Structure 1
Amino acid sequence: MYFCISFSYYRLLVLLLCLVHHLNPSLAYSLKNCSINYSKDALADVVLYCSERKLVTVPDDIPRDVSVVYLWYNQIEQINRDDFRDLSKLRILWLDTNQIAHVDNGSFIHLVALTSLHMANNKLTDLTGNLFQGLSHLTMLDLSGNNIQSIHTSAFLPLSRLETVILDSNKLQQVTDIQPILQLPLIQKLSIRGNLFPSFETKDLLLNVPSSLKVLDVSDNDKFDKFSITTQIFPHLEMIDLSRCGHVAGWKWDIPDKTLLRNITQLYFSYPLIAFEEIRKVLQSLDSLMYLRLNYMEKWIAKGLLATVCKIPTLKKLDLYWNHVPNLSVKLVACSELSELDLSSTSMTELSKGSIRLMEQLRFLTLETNLLTKVPDDIRTLSSLEILNIGDNMISELSCEDFTNTTRLRELDLHTNHIAKLERCVFESLNDLKVLDMSDNLLWTLGGAFKIGLKKLEFLDLSNNFLLILEKGDFQSLGSLKRLNVVWKHKAFNGLNNLSNLSVSPPLKFENKFTGLQQLENLTIDFINDGFKGPQPIFYYKDFFHLKSMKVLTVICKGYHIGFPFDIPSEMLQAMKHLEDFTAENFYISAPDVDTFQINCQLKSLTIRQTDLSDLDPGLFQPMPHLQVLDFSESKIKSLDFLFQSNLSALKCLKLSDNEITVINETVFQFLPALTYLDLQNNPFTCDCSNAGFIQWVKNNKQTQVVNAYQYTCSFPVAEQGNKLLDFDIQFCWMDVSFLCFISSTCVVVLTLLASFIYHFLRWQLAYAYHLFRAFLYDSRKRKAGAHHRYDAFISYNVHDKAWVYQEMLPALEGEQGWRLCLHHRDLQPGKPIVENITDAIYGSRKTICVITRHYLQSEWCSREIQMASFRLFDEQKDVLVLLFLEEIPAHQLSPYYRMRKMVKKRTYLSWPQASQHTGVFWQNVGRALETGDRDIMAFK
């Protein structure tokens, strides 16, 4: 068994690399209305895509380091001065197909690196003097499809490096409007097609120095009546496009001195909107013409125009496509010096014999999209031919003589014909052929055509044919083949020792043979479901064991294949130690086995789509320390929890679109330290507090771009359906600092008001509670210390009852029975706080006798004494309180004194009025009450 490099060592290495690795700053955050495609090349240009977003203004979150911005197909109406501020690295800006009618002066002043500006198909009407201020590096400007009627004379002054200007389909009417452009020092190409120029005359152009213009396009000007060059202002002009110029009456060519056009090498005409004699005069005046294009010129070709064309001694390239002239090829006999000829789309049924036979220098011939039924005979004589395109015809067969003498042929295109079979000798003489395209034919057999010859063939496309059976060795002579695209059912690739790229499209029922492809690096298998319902076919995985050079493996299955054994065993990939990119689409039925990639330590990109990965084992990623791209789209994934244990510290790009993810734990991204690109589009997100952390992470993280995050929609709950995920207010999910400050200040205010209220209305009660608390502490200390009681009873009475206490109680209890009593008029310590005296007296006595009268109940201090005694009663849970009623008090008079009424209901008491006839018994009961410890006293009534 093979093992990858130690993971502990690798983790340390990755950590160090992450510290020094330059993260692409373009992927530093999520954009509201744009996206940046992931690029494996960290040094690649940052390209921002904002097209087709229904934008009405330029986005305000464009990254500062962006190089290319696409803003086409939106609804932007105006460019403001600060729209492109700080974009000092922007080189290409696309603003095509918007509604731009106004651009603030200086709007592009910050685009110091801009080289290409595209503003086609907008609503500009004039170019102001400061419109292009700051664009000193601009080389290409496209303003076609606007309504431009005027150009300020200084509009192009800042554009000192401008080379190409396109002003097609505007409303310019005077040739003098383009004078500022022609004065540019480096201008190379000017296109003013589709404007309203009545003529083009150089006498109207007052230039100080000759223009450097090389390409002039004045086509599609239907009001054109004259083209005149009478001054030396275009000494470098090489190409003129006069296609579709003029009206039915024709236009005039006025070049009195043909030396003025001595450098013209290319000329384009289409539609016969110029008199026959005029066009002949034009062609005869161009002594350096090398490339001539004549489209839709059937009228003048039928009249003999090609006779004049073929007399141009310098002509090398002739394009005659879109000319439907019978026997067109016959008229080309005299054009013997051509090196390139395009006769495509001419409705040609045959190429007349001898029509191109004499073109001994012909290197490029295009006969595409015609009605040819066989390869023209004249091709056999074109020994210099290098590129031949006869695709999209009706050729049904190829003979061995068709390419006998075209030994220099490098590219042959025979796509979209009716070729059903090949002869062994058909390509035998094409020893220099490198590219052969025979796709979209009716081929059912190769006939041994690739067993001989074609030693240098590098690219072969046989896709979309009807090949059923190919024998072993059918490609044995293609030793240099590097790329093969073919559909087959039984395949042998013996002899393709140098093949590096192979694209095959087998049906599900097939027998593969890849044993001879030792140099294969890129293999794409596109399975086709052909309705196979027989016994399960045998998939020879062992044939893959020899593909030791494999770097990119793509397996795609089209159609329904449940039940087909497509789960790739780990042994299949064991030989592919250099595998870097693996893609499986609609191939696996369930998640791959955890050991599938145990040997593929070099894997950098893993794509598994249209597969049920709901039970994915995180251990699958353990052998992939270098994985940078992971695509699990359309895979029924419900959670990102598998990433917690995945060890994907090098992962940069994660695509999980079209899954079933509802809630995301944002802490998972802590385990992906290198992540810069995240795609979670088309998932059924839940818009509640369970996603609050993820929403905050998307908005605040400065490393990972969450693609189109601001377009993610809510699926749950029902009330949030259709709303945007990032619009969900997460403030309801937790308290922020401002809210906490509000709560704190509110509490302070309420406490202040409450304290003031309590002090004003309840200050005595608070003081009493304070002393009660002190009494409690005092009692606790006394109990711990086991303090001795000084008195047997503390007598709590009102001053109005003092006489009864001294005359009746003291003689009976102290004199006769010998109890030690504590009276506040006699025994309390002078100078000591009253409450402390009361507390000491109550807790220094075993019992407290309360002499209850109406005056007693109305006394504040008496009330506090009985409350203190009650507190001791509840605290010690002992019978320490004796109630002695000196007078009868009805229950309804006790109701205002809730505490007293409650005690009377729960405790027994002594009544002096009821014992007035038996005072001796009364004082005996009092004595018994003083003797009892924890028992209640029976009432004597």
Structure 2
Amino acid sequence: TICWSGLEEVFPDVRSLCILHSSSSLPADSFSHIPLLEHLYLDGSHLAKVTSGAFAGLPKLRFLHILVSSSWGGVNVTLEPGVFQGLSSLEELTLAGMSLALAPAALLDPLVRVRSLRVDRAGARDLGELFCLLSPGMEKLETLELPDSMVSSIQNGGCSGSNPWPTVLLSRIRILDLSGNPVRRVEPKSLSVFQNLSSLSLSMVDVWVGQLWGSGMGRVNKLYLSSYALRQFTPSLSDLCTLVVKHGVESLDLRLALITAFTAEVMKRCGPGLRQLSVTSQDLSGMDLGFWTGTGQIQGLMMVLTKLTNASFCSAGGGRVWNLTSLILHENHLTEITTDQFSCMPLLERLDLSENHISSLAHRALQGMPLLRVLDLTHNKISMLGEDDFEGLPALEVLLLEGNKISGGIAHGVFRRQHRLQDLSLGEIDIIYQLYLNMLFLGFPTKLQHLLIDTGPGTYLTVGHVPAPEFPMLLELRGKMIQSSDCENNMFPMVRELKVGDGTKFDCNNIFLAPYFLNLESFEFSANPEKFATPYTTINQLRKLKRLKLTNLNFSNHTDPSVTFRNLTELRSLVLINCRLNFLTRSMFTDLVSLRVLRLYSESPLILLEGVFIPLLSLSTLVFDQVDFRCDCSNGWLLDWADNSRKTQVVLLQRQQCIWHYQRLNFLSTMERLCQTEDDFLSYVSTTAAVCTLLCLALGYRFLRWPCVVLFFRLRGWVERRVGRRWWRRRMGGQWEELIEGEEGEEEVRYDAFVSFSSGDEAWVLGEMAPMLEEEGEPRLRLCLHHRDFEVGKGIVDNIAENIYCSRRTVCVLTRRYLRSDWCGLEMRVATHRLLSEHSHRLILIFLEHISPFELSAFHR
């Protein structure tokens, strides 16, 4: 669960932010400290409330996606008024997985610059419910996507309160996506507001296509029709052609629809306007392959997952020429390409036959396509490439043969006519132990920019004497072992990006390849450390390198990691995946002054020595994909560095583990527990003790101040009487009894009464009470009055305690002022405690005012 306050650690110059969370609410001003943010993606499974002002302070935000990923239907998420206030630059908004039935009426009013709005899985039955949420001020809105929202009917019933749809706004919509909705009914004139759509997507359930041309909509350039579920939409081809003609459809895409009578006669009704036809996920194995003769204007045909076993369109066309420019027959059941199979398509530029079961190319199979630029034969079963297989393709630029196990050989000169070739991928070359690139081309295509070679167990690669390519190249090599002895050729210096993957060992003249690719800017290398032990230190010669990704290298053998990354001053991104590193030291990264991104993945325990990242002056992102640290305090510095570094964002550190006694433990919690220093512990204990002491003192002063004072003096008096008298008795011997009798006698007759009174009642005590008892009474009494009889220089508390214990009785003159006085309260408590401990003492209360019994303690009542 994300703590939104933790976002304060995100750098203020971040422009793209993706958050996956499980919080239930999005508070206000969550992103106000990131004012430059342009892209924001929020994915949560428990989001229930978005507070007003949640996106305040984001004046440059252009793309906002809010996704509730836990549900298929719409969840009731409370969107408070003003949620999108201040998003004046927002261009694209996506709300997925939340119901908008209870959304405020003016929710979208601030979004005046939005061009694209997507409301996914909203759970609305009627399309009008979603149209009514649109604000008239959204004048730039062109794309409206409402997929998977359970819309079952399209009817123009207006909005609540007899308000009409925002027709002016809807008339500007160019792209309307209603795919994934179980539409069962389209009422007449319900779509009349849309008169110039460039794209319309609909999912239907047992709907007659005639309802669409009766809906009142105007021209539609691209029309996507699909069945909500398999076999729930069964339109006739005749009705579809009528729809195409009535609405000027140029591109028709049919998915999961069950169509019958796919013939040339019916296709004539589609007219000359249809340019693109796409059919997906429908069994067309028995269709009439000459259907295209009914409308010879189709320029693009795509049939995917249609179970086609034959692609003889030309022979079925009876010799007619088809002006087709793109033919995609992806994921069908084709097994071979016969002679002149596509010869009636002289304008064809793209042919996609990928993921079929083609095992062979017949003689002249690819003839008659002089303009073909892209040929995709990936993931078939082609085992041999003959000399004339591609002879009729002089304009070919992209040839993809990846995923074919070529075991029958590759003829010399097979690509001799492909002088314009820019992208070539050769499938798995099996049982071919020598591959001569110059012999494949009988020269070399100087425009080649991407070359992929997938070899078998072992291949000896020879480039030969070829001219230098005109453009920088991307070279990909796959296989178990590739060796070459002519690495000093004209092609390797033009390679700017090199990918050697899948545990491939590639040696040039029996040494590592780096010295022969000195102009590399991007290098990805994946080795097999269990089989090959190769020193990789020559990587430091790639001085122009900007991106480096190393996977499964064994730095623990034959390679000094402190030398490998020297001289790479232009390197910006470094990814190290399971490279058998036990330590990361500062010397490894000394020259990486331009490095911005560092990603680490290690399955073995890894120790980061203190200060290892100090040389990385430009480092902005440090990612720990998976690092098994050692539970050792030598890694403890990393926590302080990650917490204090303001220029480097440390990612996924909280998910990492460390090894402790054959157990995997959370790295952060374990390090905090193991590596807490003595100073930290003492500071923690002393701070805790000080806080507890202050709390106790505060509470004691508030509630137990005077009882504690009385207890203190009682204990002191008891100690003085018991301990002091024993010590004095041992010292004085026989004189002790006489002294004690004299002292006790003197103490008993010192005062007859201690008078406790408030200063406000002093006039009555001195004017009436004291004269009457001391001068007029019989017998005359000796009173202790604090202003007269307290010993000068002694503390007030000492005087109170001593004089009360030297008096036979205590007289308390009670008034409301007396009860509010702290000193009077103390005198009363001391007298009460003496009364409880010495039953001979008496406490007399004199009430000068009427006082409620509830103002006194229970004992005094």
TM range (shorter): 0.5 to 0.7
Retained in 1: the 8 A contact 2:35–2:57?
yes
Distance 1:720 1:625, change over 3 A: closer
Retained in 2: the 8 A contact 1:545–1:576?
no
Which one of the candidate residues 217, 221, 225 is aligned to 1:294? 225
Q: Is residue 345 of structure 1 aligned with residue 294 of structure 2?
A: no
> 1:104 offset after TM fit, Å?
1.8
Which one of the candidate residues 138, 162, 168 is aligned to 2:90? 138
5+ unaligned residues in a row in structure 1: which ranges? 1-53, 215-233, 530-537, 747-941
Q: Is residue 188 of structure 1 aligned with residue 142 of structure 2?
A: yes
Alpha-carbon distance between aligned partners in 1 of 2:63 and 2:116, rounded to the nearest angstrom: 9
| Matched residue, 2:103 | 151
Alignment of 1:491-890 (within 5 A): 491-494=435-438, 495=441, 496-498=444-446, 499-515=448-464, 516=466, 518-519=468-469, 521-528=473-480, 539-543=483-487, 545-546=489-490, 547-558=492-503, 569-570=510-511, 572-587=513-528, 592-593=534-535, 596-597=538-539, 599-615=541-557, 616-617=559-560, 618-641=562-585, 643=587, 647-716=591-660, 721-724=665-668, 728=672, 732-733=676-677, 735=679, 739=683
> 1:348 offset after TM fit, Å?
0.5
Distance 1:197 1:385, change over 3 A: closer
| Matched residue, 1:463 | 402
Alpha-carbon distance between aligned partners in 1 of 2:46 and 2:467, rounded to the nearest angstrom: 56
| Matched residue, 2:51 | 104
Retained in 2: the 8 A contact 1:350–1:373?
no
Alpha-carbon distance between aligned partners in 1 of 2:626 and 2:194, rounded to the nearest angstrom: 60
SS in 1 for 2:297: coil
Distance 1:291 1:660, change over 3 A: closer
Q: Is residue 253 of structure 1 aligned with residue 188 of structure 2?
A: yes
> 1:198 offset after TM fit, Å?
6.8
Query: Per-residue displacement from partner, 1:137-156 (whole Å, max 9, x unpaired)?
Result: 22322223223322323322
Alpha-carbon distance between aligned partners in 1 of 2:486 and 2:12, rounded to the nearest angstrom: 52
Alpha-carbon distance between aligned partners in 2 of 1:664 and 1:115, rounded to the nearest angstrom: 40
Alpha-carbon distance between aligned partners in 2 of 1:188 and 1:164, rounded to the nearest angstrom: 6
> 1:506 offset after TM fit, Å?
0.5
Identify the range of structure 1 (286-295 vs 203-212) with the bigger mean alpha-carbon deviation.
203-212
Larger radius of gyration: 1
Letter in 1 for 2:142: Q
SS in 2 for 1:657: strand
| Matched residue, 2:68 | 121
Alpha-carbon distance between aligned partners in 2 of 1:181 and 1:437, rounded to the nearest angstrom: 44
Letter in 2 for 1:419: I
Alpha-carbon distance between aligned partners in 1 of 2:17 and 2:506, rounded to the nearest angstrom: 46
**Which structure ranks higher in relative contact order (CA pairs < 8 Å, sequence separation ≥ 6)?**
1
Retained in 2: the 8 A contact 1:212–1:237?
no
Identify the range of structure 1 (505-514 vs 324-333) with the bigger mean alpha-carbon deviation.
324-333
SS in 1 for 2:188: strand
Alpha-carbon distance between aligned partners in 2 of 1:397 and 1:427, rounded to the nearest angstrom: 12
Alpha-carbon distance between aligned partners in 2 of 1:567 and 1:386, rounded to the nearest angstrom: 43
Which one of the candidate residues 236, 243, 248 is aligned to 1:309? 243
5+ unaligned residues in a row in structure 2: which ranges? 70-74, 691-861
> 1:445 offset after TM fit, Å?
1.5
SS in 2 for 1:305: helix
SS in 1 for 2:461: coil
Retained in 2: the 8 A contact 1:189–1:213?
no
Query: Per-residue displacement from partner, 1:582-619 (whole Å, max 9, x unpaired)?
Result: 33212465664476346533233343321221143233
Alpha-carbon distance between aligned partners in 1 of 2:493 and 2:27, rounded to the nearest angstrom: 58
Distance 1:614 1:386, change over 3 A: same
Query: Per-residue displacement from partner, 1:743-771 (whole Å, max 9, x unpaired)?
Result: 9xx9xxxxxxxxxxxxxxxxxxxxxxxxx
Distance 1:567 1:733, change over 3 A: farther
Alpha-carbon distance between aligned partners in 2 of 1:347 and 1:197, rounded to the nearest angstrom: 27
SS in 2 for 1:88: coil
Which one of the candidate residues 259, 262, 279 is aligned to 1:325? 259
Retained in 2: the 8 A contact 1:237–1:263?
yes
Retained in 2: the 8 A contact 1:710–1:726?
no
SS in 1 for 2:86: coil
Number of matched residues?
654
Letter in 1 for 2:634: S
Distance 1:734 1:570, change over 3 A: farther
Letter in 2 for 1:414: L
Retained in 1: the 8 A contact 2:144–2:173?
no
Retained in 1: the 8 A contact 2:524–2:550?
yes
Retained in 1: the 8 A contact 2:251–2:275?
yes
> 1:271 offset after TM fit, Å?
3.1
| Matched residue, 1:426 | 365
> 1:416 offset after TM fit, Å?
1.5
Query: Per-residue displacement from partner, 1:495-531 (whole Å, max 9, x unpaired)?
Result: 23232211111012223232347327221111158xx
> 1:178 offset after TM fit, Å?
4.4
Alpha-carbon distance between aligned partners in 2 of 1:146 and 1:262, rounded to the nearest angstrom: 30
Retained in 2: the 8 A contact 1:644–1:671?
no
Alpha-carbon distance between aligned partners in 2 of 1:148 and 1:682, rounded to the nearest angstrom: 40
Distance 1:492 1:711, change over 3 A: same
> 1:439 offset after TM fit, Å?
0.9
| Matched residue, 1:166 | 118
SS in 1 for 2:361: coil
Alpha-carbon distance between aligned partners in 1 of 2:564 and 2:244, rounded to the nearest angstrom: 70
Q: Is residue 71 of structure 1 aligned with residue 19 of structure 2?
A: yes
Query: Per-residue displacement from partner, 1:596-646 (whole Å, max 9, x unpaired)?
Result: 346533233343321221143233344544334333321211112373586
Alpha-carbon distance between aligned partners in 2 of 1:659 and 1:237, rounded to the nearest angstrom: 52
Which one of the candidate residues 62, 87, 94 is aligned to 2:10? 62
Alpha-carbon distance between aligned partners in 1 of 2:367 and 2:130, rounded to the nearest angstrom: 61
Alpha-carbon distance between aligned partners in 2 of 1:573 and 1:124, rounded to the nearest angstrom: 58
Letter in 1 for 2:188: W
- TM-score by structure 2 length? 0.68
SS in 2 for 1:684: strand
Distance 1:235 1:159, change over 3 A: closer
SS in 2 for 1:548: helix
Alpha-carbon distance between aligned partners in 1 of 2:547 and 2:209, rounded to the nearest angstrom: 63
> 1:177 offset after TM fit, Å?
7.0
Higher strand share: 2
Retained in 2: the 8 A contact 1:602–1:624?
yes
Query: Per-residue displacement from partner, 1:90-148 (whole Å, max 9, x unpaired)?
Result: 22222234211112221212122222222233744444322222222223222232233
| Matched residue, 2:214 | 281
SS in 1 for 2:68: coil
SS in 2 for 1:415: coil
Retained in 2: the 8 A contact 1:506–1:527?
yes
Distance 1:299 1:591, change over 3 A: closer
| Matched residue, 1:363 | 299
- TM-score by structure 1 length? 0.62
Alpha-carbon distance between aligned partners in 1 of 2:414 and 2:337, rounded to the nearest angstrom: 18
Alpha-carbon distance between aligned partners in 2 of 1:420 and 1:464, rounded to the nearest angstrom: 12
Alpha-carbon distance between aligned partners in 1 of 2:540 and 2:10, rounded to the nearest angstrom: 42
